[in-house]
Amino acid sequence: MIGCIIQARMGSTRLPGKVMKKVFKDIPSLQHTIEQLKFSKNIDKIVIATSDLQEDDVIEKFVEEQNLECFRGSAENVLDRYYQCAKLFGFTGIVRITADCPLIDPYITDKVIQVFNDDELDYVPNVFPRTFPDGLETEVIAFNALEIAWKNAILPSEKEHVTPYFKNNKESFKIKNVENNTDLSHLRWTLDYQEDLELIREVIKKIQKRPIEMEDILELFSKEPDLPKMNSGHAPNEGYQRSLEEDKKFLKKQ
């Protein structure tokens, strides 16, 4: 069974409570992410995985109101949260999505899942290297591979960001990256900053069709070239880069 685990938390240093920020009318980012993914043909079940911190009670309450499953686990060790969640629900393949991607394209997600299904791989990302806009990140992991990472991950980045263990040990796994025909990695419609939120609100307001696909946003940007400039000052993967600094501190102590 292919399960999509959407990680969500209220704690964010750059934009606190971002996953519950309204992106369209009364719809928060988390809900819009879910609504987009409901158009996927290859996902069997969606589960939201949040932390066991009290501040994330609001996420559990919201998820239950949506009649979806909520799993709660470690706040810091997100790899453990994913593993325990996947094990509980019996997922053989895990689709990793974050709740700060309200414009996730379900058809790109389906394409990544299809590659995973067709080729019997351990890990299929579309970010290794990155060629899609920031905000369309999809990673699919075989449960057996996830279990190996869970047992062996040591670095803080491997535990916080779930999948770096595969990148750090790529010779041990069957990995295939899904790439876009054109490198669009300079574009950004993920949610980390207030400027991101303002852009996402504009995009959702201006594009009426559902789901919103990558091509719809690219078409909008071509008509309104000032839109992508709204948040162009932020680099991708800033959170991951901070984790790599934590890795250096960790290794010095060993």
Q: Is 28 helix (H, G, I), strand (E, B) or coil?
A: strand
Eight-state DSSP code of residue 69? E
Question: In terms of C-beta density within 10 A (0-12 exposed, 13-18 middle, 19 or more buried), how is residue 24 classed?
Answer: middle
**pLDDT at position 238, please?**
62
- Which residues of the chain, if any, have pLDDT below 50? none
pLDDT tens track for 31-54: 999 999 999 999 999 999 999 999
pLDDT tens track for 87-118: 999 999 999 999 999 999 999 999 999 999 99
Rounded to two decimals, the pTM is 0.94
**pLDDT at position 254, please?**
64
- The answer to whether residues 45 and 94 touch, using CB atoms and an 8 Å cutoff, is no
Query: What CATH number does the domain located at 2-253 have?
Result: 3.90.550.10
**pLDDT at position 235, please?**
72
The C-alpha angle with vertex 157 and arms to 175 and 79, in degrees rounded to 5, equals 70
**pLDDT at position 236, please?**
66
Share of the chain above pLDDT 70, in %: 93
**pLDDT at position 44, please?**
99
Closest CA to 217 of 139, 130, 101: 101
